[in-house]
Amino acid sequence: MTTEYAARKNEECYEHVYVIHHPDEEREACRPLRTGPAYDRQKALGAQFGCVNGFERPNYYGPLDADDCFDHDSRSFRRGKWWKYAVEEAKAIRNGVGLIDATTFTKHIVKGIGAAAFLDWFTTNKLPKIGRINLTYALTNAGTTRSEYTIVRNSEDNFYLVSAGAWTDYDADFLRKSASEMEAKFGRIEIQNVTTQYGVFAIAGPKSRNVLNEIIKDADRGTALSNKRFPWLSMRNIELGMCPVKAIRVAYTGELGWELHHPIEMQNYLWDLITKAGEKHGMKLVGARAQNWLRQEKSYRAFGNELGRDATPLEADLPRFVDLGKDFRGKKAMLELGIRSKCVTLLIDGPDDADPWGREALYDGETRVGRLTSGGYSVAFGKSIGMGYVKPETAIIGKKLKVKMFDQLWDAEIVEDSPYDPNNSTIRVDG
């Protein structure tokens, strides 16, 4: 962070002290500053951007003739002008195919003779096999969640870590300090922050494989993306046209899909290639707001919302990502904390013109029993959806609660995790 950036953003805070703050507010100072190569292409196609760690990221794709005040004037405590565009984007991923720019992801390489032992101690889950991935958590010494990582194992002692884009320096600092502390025990550990070296496009939806089959270079193109050669939760180095891609078969939207990690200098080439191939399949460009709704239909937790220093992975109801058979940082403290509250997913019969955003109080009768940490609209269920924490005794599937919005209580029901496609059949579909 530079001096001028810090000063101007600080001054902006003073300017906003006595103004109304909307949940969909995007502040304008120092923007655009950090942009991916495809920024101008996306803007020309109607992208309205949000800012993540100073990095521009499409929130949604609005009208092509929108004026410069469109997003600012769309702000509302209810469904703003942008809402209908996000709905269509979410539907495209559920029913067809969509393309998301996820370049803002934080990315690290961890390698060296001590890398495997270090990461095994540093995170809660088992390490993946070579060519596979896992989701895992790094804990604080108090046992709560410090960071969330997707770990890709490139080789025996080489790992590619992906984490939230808003926390690049936060994660880099923690990784380096932790590695320095443990290097004498585990051996040489090298940490490389490669966030700005790689762009990421996430393609998802029932037709995503069809789009990629148009452009993949392979001796047997018809099987290159099949379950046999490219199973769910695995990584393959592939070629899309002339672009080398580290493809990861995972999708934060809960549909068939791939993250396409590529050299940043080839981003515009790859963007043009994918968007051209997607035309015949009706591919739609998708922003972060629709993605946020879709991940809630799958009960995917988000760092900074469901995940953070105030709860453990067990309280987030993620025991499948915690290997209690091994030692890891914060394990003892996590177990001593127990389950003080529990994360749940709720379907909400709220107002006809508004959805929750997170932080809304949850009531059981007249008693406040928790709060939402995320909220939005579900295209799969045609109503509002949310995730949040409640008292353990309240976390019962089918439990009727109330959500406080606009000073009124609205009906809500706790549902099973991953209410959309609970068996993950769409993610695993072969082809």
At 44 the three-state DSSP class reads: helix
φ, ψ of residue 72 to 5 degrees: the values are -60, -45
> What does the alpha-carbon distance between residue 305 and residue 313 come to, in Å, rounded to a whole number?
13
- The one-letter amino acid code at 10 reads N
Helices and strands (H and E) in the chain: how many: 10, 19
pLDDT for res 260: 98
| Predicted TM-score of the model (pTM) | 0.96
pLDDT for res 1: 81
pLDDT for res 100: 98
Question: In the beta sheet, which residues pair with residue 134?
Answer: 151
User: 191, 179 in Cβ contact below 8 A?
Assistant: yes
Contacts of 120 (CB under 8 A, 6+ apart): 127, 326, 328
Other CB atoms closer than 10 Å to residue 155's CB: what's the count?
11
In Å, the largest CA–CA distance within the chain is: 65
Regions of the chain with pLDDT less than 70: none
Strands (E), 144-219: 145-155, 158-163, 190-193, 198-204
pLDDT for res 13: 93
Q: C-alpha dihedral over 87, 89, 95, 98, to 10 degrees? A: -170
User: 85, 26 in Cβ contact below 8 A?
Assistant: no
At 124 the three-state DSSP class reads: coil
Q: Which domains does the chain have, with CATH numbers?
A: 198-282 (3.30.1360.120), 302-415 (2.40.30.110)
